[in-house]
Amino acid sequence: MKRLAVYCGSATPADPRYIELARQVGNTLAAQGIGVVYGGGRLGLMGAVAGAALLAGGEVIGVIPEALVRGEVANYDCTDLHIVANMHERKAAFTRYSDGFLVLPGGVGTMDELWEAVSWAQLGYHAKPIGILNAFGFYDGLLAFNRHMAEVGFIRPAHQGIIMAEHDLDLLLERMRAHEPIIPIIAMNPGTL
């Protein structure tokens, strides 16, 4: 894994553990020679990941829509900052520039990015690992809901392992490095759909 798309919040929660977590992730990725591909902003967890990675000498590629650049949230300190027209182009760039997806705590935008990465993996648009850093139990409810979708039958057995989740970053990165691509829907026998 040379680069990971890091999905996380642009907000700064009152609990300082979240910003500290983001900084630790940026430091760890830089120390392991893994570049960060992220939303290109300087605020919240996103900004903390990027800032820490840059301070540690890591590569940071930002991808930000024009509207957010005009809103003065762009991080011009990035190794490389790509300005795109919209969110669709942004997410396509995340997939193009990265070797996998690392999800930290976040809100609606983070969920949008996560589920699109999962959906695209199921369909076969990419074969990259998707890891959730479930720090502080933040994603316990989401992971329970994902299990529920599988139990009901909305997630095929072949796709139930797409999301990898761990509380420990090093363990999660190890699992992501060992990722084996799943059989995507487009390669399945129609009788198994």
Q: What is the CATH number of the domain that holds 9?
A: 3.40.50.450
Would residue 184 count as lying in a domain?
Answer: no
Q: Which of the residue ranges 65-69, 86-90, 126-130, 186-190 would you say has the lowest mean pLDDT?
A: 186-190
- Per-residue confidence at 40, pLDDT binned at 50, 70, 90? very high
Domain that holds residue 44: 3-178
145-171 per-position pLDDT tens digit: 999 999 999 999 999 999 999 999 999
Helices 17-31 and 44-55 pack at an angle, to 10 degrees, of 40
Amino acid at site 5: A
Specify if 72 maps to a domain: yes
Average pLDDT over residues 77-89: 96
- What is the average pLDDT across 4-33? 98
Is 191 part of a structural domain of the chain?
no
How many distinct structural domains can be found in the chain?
1
Q: Can you list the positions of beta strands (E) in the chain? A: 3-7, 35-38, 60-65, 80-84, 101-103, 130-133, 163-166
- pLDDT computed for residue 15 by the predictor: 98
- Residue 190 reports pLDDT greater than 90: no
Q: Say if 86 falls within a structural domain.
A: yes
From residue 92, how far is each of 39, 51, 120 by CA, in Å?
A: 12, 23, 10
Place of tokens 């009788």: 191
45 domain-assigned: yes
| Domain-located, residue 187 | no
What pLDDT score was predicted for residue 72? 72
Q: With a cut of 60, say whether residue 192 has pLDDT above it.
A: no
Residue 115: inside a domain, yes or no? yes
Does residue 186 belong to any structural domain of this protein?
Answer: no
